[in-house]
Amino acid sequence: MTANTNLQTRAKVSILTGSYQIKGYVELINGARITDLMNGSKEFIAVTEAEVYEVGGNLRHVLSTPFLNVCRNHIQIIAPL
């Protein structure tokens, strides 16, 4: 994790949904954990520098985007990288 000047921490994560694996960064308040982000979030989680892969036999690359909103209800696994 790397610190920003506005009291937030940028954390690299891997997110698994039923259809996609998403790698990118989420913003955390300093001292917060990814669990705190999930418990405190509303409907969507903002992911920056997102890379999206279709899960299956070969993890086909689907999308690269500077910003992606991920529906919290579709997240099955989220882990730090």
Average confidence (pLDDT) over 49-61: 93
- Confidence (pLDDT) at 54: 96
Tokens of 61: 């690359």
3 pLDDT above the threshold of 60: no
Report the alpha-carbon distance of residue 23 to residue 14 in Å, rounded. 5
Domain coverage including residue 49: 2-80
Report the alpha-carbon distance of residue 50 to residue 44 in Å, rounded. 14
Measured CA to CA in angstroms, residue 35 lies from 40, 41, 65 at distances of 8, 10, 24
- Confidence (pLDDT) at 59: 86
Average confidence (pLDDT) over 66-75: 97
Domain count, the chain: 1
1 pLDDT above the threshold of 70: no
State the CATH number of the domain containing residue 40. 2.30.30.100
pLDDT tens digits, residue range 11-43?
A: 999 999 999 999 999 999 999 999 999 999 899
